[in-house]
Structure 1
């Protein structure tokens, strides 16, 4: 749960930027409905019979809407009654959702099917495929625990943890032996491992077995039965997997085809569900109608990390002040005219390169204005956090990131990830460039030719003898233990993330300044153009039986150094190639 001082920053990053609200509730009046009633009234006809409950208590509906239209928060409110939303979704609603910052969603949208949330869950499933980040409040008169569980199940997909035939036979034998002692053993086991235990195992997929092994909740009842049966830890694990699979089977009809990416939820206290593009809070219609308070409480219970607040604030500032920033970015008309003229005169690969450069410059100008506002927010947040943390900074970091920097192993991992983040990134671009780390013949190399020499079409006359190939300098990278005791500030080491893990490489074979790197002149086929997966081909010279022979090798760009770190290695390569040997004794 967020501290009081931190809560205001959560509100500023997530709640205050809300400008529009869409309410989907079959008890709410829509604009079309009100107009039709007025037309019927003027014609002297009787209004059609309606099962909407807002007629009984219109004051409550007005109270909810007024809550979104306060003077300090005058929001644009739209209402959809969910009448034409089926269990396969509704294209019109999906279009609305993309334009709305907050969705207030009734769980039960079909009065003919009490306690059935199929329609609302289908809307949520549509939201998670939306690139626009959505805040949702499930506003319902149903039991919140039931609604909460059904929403989670509706966003989960079935698991693939099936027991082998041998494992199934072993489990059956264990249960049969237990039933010889207690004839109700299987019934008791299934009661001990039901939906709550299943959801815990899904949320904590990598640690739930450890929790069970320690006899902790929600597996204490199961562990008591396992003790009675005399099962060892291996048997307990096997039986638990079987029971979890049994618990999932009747739930599959309410689940998605595949699990929602990044799905997390609260296990106690204030209810919330979070996916990559959706945050869901829950509110009871029986309690009160202050939905912003319920949303704020859920966000505080989620307690997003400061870095997430920075990103949310950046997104909000871009929406709010993007036009102003755009105006400032477009002030230099002469420079813009010069850039545009170059674009029009260019052709082929040169135009492609200039377009990428122009887009980068425009976005840089746009962000310069926006970032100043985000920096003010970040300064206030960090100042407040520093006062609250005092000398216990590690504990504060653990609260936000679940990383204990007071311990050696997490601290080393944090340093590795920092080094990789500040010095490298995922590969970018459409052609080979300075700092691209690539694999060739199971070895790692780095491209260290100047970037201007690698642009397809540049230096065409100079490289005419090479045909459709671009020559470039590459240095072999030597893998070293990632936790080795190396002087990383010697500027001889780089950190890159490969297959999700940080790896460390040295610029030469010994990690000493005086040792020269292994470098080669290689030739990139097709002028160094990369395919969509960052693959390309290289011609390399090698010894034949009587002469040098050019051999084509497949290569794959797997990472990229940030420009200043690539320039550092480029400079080191230049120093090595221009060194002077002296014959001192």
Structure 2
């Protein structure tokens, strides 16, 4: 990449760092520094700690030091997370042999919602070995135990085999496996592994046994599972990383970027920061990653709360407070009122960020530079291949999944509202619907005067929803530009849902009565739910009637403009006028 790109990486990922947290059992923390000389003598590297602290201060980076970590100390990890750069000693024990504590810290940082930049600073002679230890423990989904369960022939073969004569996979092959799964291992390497297993007989899945051997080698590096730690691996894309014998060693895993750097005695901070920058450049963050990082920097640097053009002006605060009280008075629902105010504030911030001239200038320069650098690589007839090159990835991808995820991102958002609203997609078993009542009809406030039918039903709300059909992914994508489908992704499951009839392009509306004005209930690990009564024909020989109270699960939510479009088209369906004509002979 060019100097413009290198400078952009440094600006957003390195220059954006504003504080440092040093974690090393050989360093005295600030409390220890004010104790006796005898206490200070216990710390073997107090001079190194002082030098690092002093150099970071010269770079205007506030610095904290910690020298103890107890297993399961979540509060300490939370303190670390609040710093932009964490410099972590890989062996947090007196003998410099045990990596259990540092591995747990890295696992917890990877699972945090904050993006953490970590330098693993180590005396280890073999940085590749450190890389493999960290990667194996961040890929806890590559466990060996239980992998062959359910594969009787392969399990019987494995139990009878003697692994002593098998060649251990090379570090390069292990890295390929941990970053890309078995599909990420080169064809030649897979062939060599299978050949080395000396598998005889038919009816045995050789690829499965090759993966089992790789998993067993990963498992040998894995520490005992960390308690109360939930991981979302994200499949084979959960971990990226690379090492070169005389170059950068780095891992990017979920919420963590880790640079592995060998300790040296002279110019340590310069050595650390240049090593971090080199690792980031080797990672090659793409344009979107750079842009998101720069947006995050802008959010953290600017005091939006103190900007008189936004929220700090007292008259604006009085106005927003009046809006909040009005919402409370009308609805009587504090959660919904707060949600409404937050929506308004976030929308204001969104417009402020998107119109920031410096951010636009930064993005424009970087994109121009990347396009020029990639040249013909993004000008082929295959537009998705061009996109892969622009995304800086060599991983194989499924075009159908890519386009489905793109359409889902453009048209839907995560549902987290206190009440269902226009565009909410919900289900009961294999049946799906989308709310097409105006959002103002689904609030907690009473509708109209006390004498109206709608008001007399309060807090039950009459609601219109259109029936959706679950269809084939490929078919929904083929007709995506017609705007007849909803592309919902929920917990990695795809829901291609047809909104309008394929022949008539008309919606199929149904009537519901929501209880408690469509209030949603959230249970961790499950879909949000709401209760409603549906009008349906349960017996084809009888008239339709109210079906008993049911609990429906929320699958997803259309973005506001997409939901408004469906609402408009459904309204046009109700407003249609039938007229009579006769065709001539």
Q: Could you tell me the TM-score, scaled by structure 1's length? A: 0.81
Deviation at 1:450, TM superposition (A): 1.0
Contact 2:520/2:528 (8 A) holds in 1: yes
Q: Which runs of structure 2 are paired with 1:297-308 in the superposition (5 Å)?
A: 297-308=278-289
Cα deviation digits, residues 408-465 of structure 1 (max 9, x gap): x955544433222211222231112111112246222211111111112240633134
Q: Could you say which residue in structure 2 is the equivalent of 1:178?
A: none
1:428 equivalent in structure 2: 416
Q: Where in structure 2 are the equivalents of 1:491-506 lying within 5 Å?
A: 491-498=483-490, 500-506=492-498
Residue 17 (structure 2) aligns with: 18
Q: Does 1:535 align with 2:529?
A: yes
Structure 1: how far apart are the matches of 2:31 and 2:478? 71
1:503–1:123 Cα change, 3 Å: closer
Query: Residue 507 of structure 1 corresponds to which residue in structure 2?
Result: 499
Which one of the candidate residues 104, 108, 115 is aligned to 1:133?
A: 115
Greater mean deviation of Cα atoms: 2-11 or 191-200: 191-200
**Is contact 2:33-2:40 (8 Å) kept?**
no
Query: For residues 363-415 of structure 1, what are the alpha-carbon distances to aligned partners after superposition, in whole Å with 9 as ceiling and x for unaligned?
Result: 2223433341433322222222222233431566323536799x9x9555444
Secondary structure of residue in 2 paired with 1:478: strand
Alpha carbons 1:350, 1:456 under 8 Å: kept? yes
1:443 aligns with 2:434: no
SS class of match (1:75): coil
Cα RMSD after superposing both structures: 3.5
TM-aligned CA deviation for residue 568 of structure 1: 1.3
- Alignment counterpart, residue 399 of structure 1, candidates 389, 394, 416: 389
- Out of 57, 64, 67, the position equivalent to 1:78 is 64
The whole-number CA distance in structure 1 between the counterparts of 2:374 and 2:225 is: 42
Which 10-residue stretch deviates more, 249-258 or 439-448? 249-258
Give 1:310 deviation, angstroms.
1.9
Gaps of 5+ in 1: 41-46, 176-184
1:162 aligns with 2:154: no
Measure, in 2, the Cα distance between the counterparts of 1:170 and 1:26. 46
Residue number in structure 1 paired with 2:359: 374
Partner of 1:142: 124
Highest CA radius of gyration, 1 or 2? Answer: 1
SS across alignment from 2:22: strand
Quote the Cα distance in structure 2 between the aligned partners of 1:554 and 1:351. 24
Question: Which of 503, 526, 529 is matched with 2:516 structurally?
Answer: 526
1:271-319 C-alpha deviation (Å, 9 max, x unpaired): 1122322221111124862211111111122222322222211211111
Distance of 2:313 and 2:116 partners within structure 1 = 36
> Are the aligned partners of 1:22 and 1:77 in contact in 2 as well (CA < 8 Å)?
yes
1:225 aligns with 196
- The change in CA–CA distance for 1:116 and 1:3 in structure 2 (over 3 A counts) is farther
Give the paired residue count. Answer: 546
Determine the C-alpha separation between the residues in 2 that align with 1:145 and 1:403: 22
Superposed displacement of residue 551, structure 1: 0.7
Pick the aligned partner of 1:459 from 432, 440, 447.
447
| CA distance in 2 between partners of 1:324 and 1:351 (Å) | 22
In structure 2, relative to structure 1, the CA distance for the partners of 1:512 and 1:4 (3 Å cut) is: farther
- Sort the Cα spacing of 1:384 and 1:499 in 2 relative to 1 into closer, same or farther, 3 A: same
Residues 1:207 and 2:207 are matched in the alignment: no
What is the deviation of 1:252?
Answer: 4.6
Rounded to whole Å, the distance in 1 between the matches of 2:472 and 2:216 is 44
- After superposition, the Cα gap between the structure-2 partners of 1:571 and 1:501, relative to the gap in structure 1 and judged at 3 Å, is same
Q: After TM superposition, what 4+ stretches of structure 1 lie above 6 angstroms from structure 2?
A: 402-405
Residue in 2 that maps onto 1:569? 566
| Match of residue 81 from structure 2 | 98
Choose the corresponding residue for 1:272, options 219, 231, 250. Answer: 250
Aligned residues of 1:89 and 1:119 also touching (Cα < 8 A): no
> Which residue pairs with 2:103 in the alignment?
121
Question: How do residues 29-108 of structure 1 correspond to structure 2 at under 5 angstroms?
Answer: 30-36=29-35, 50=41, 52-54=43-45, 58=47, 64-70=52-58, 73-80=59-66, 82=67, 84-87=68-71, 89=73, 91=75, 93-94=76-77, 96-108=79-91
Please report how far the alpha carbon of residue 469 of structure 1 lies from its aligned counterpart in structure 2 after TM superposition.
Answer: 1.6
Distance 1:231 1:75, change over 3 A: farther
Give, in whole Å, the separation in 2 of the partners of 1:546 and 1:253: 64
SS of 1:527's partner is: helix
**Secondary structure of the structure 2 residue equivalent to 1:438:** strand
Give, in whole Å, the separation in 1 of the partners of 2:429 and 2:224: 48
Does the C-alpha gap of structure 1 residues 200 and 521 become closer, same or farther in structure 2, counting only changes over 3 Å?
same
Q: Equivalents in 2 of 1:481, 1:242: separation in Å? A: 34
Residue matched to 1:188: 165
SS in structure 1 opposite 2:346? helix
2: CA distance, partners of 1:400 / 1:458: 52
Deviating more after overlay: 6-15 vs 260-269: 260-269
SS state at 2:188 partner: coil
In 2: Cα distance, 1:107 partner to 1:564 partner: 50
Give the Cα separation in 1 of the matches to 2:212 and 2:494. Answer: 36
SS in structure 1 at match of 2:105:
helix
Aligned pair partner of 2:158 in 171, 181, 191: 171
Q: CA 1:120–1:505 in 2, change beyond 3 Å: closer, same or farther?
A: closer
* More off after superposition, 328-337 vs 137-146: 328-337
Distance 1:166 1:378, change over 3 A: same
After superposing the two structures, state which structure 1 stretch, 235-244 or 269-278, moved more.
Answer: 235-244
| Structure 2 Cα separation of the partners of residues 122 and 404 of structure 1 | 30
Distance across 2 between alignment mates of 1:328 and 1:488: 40
Q: Is the 8 A contact 2:111 2:231 kept in 1?
A: no
TM-superposed deviation, 1:528: 1.3
Q: Deviations over 1:246-272 (max 9, x none)?
A: 545644545545685445242432211
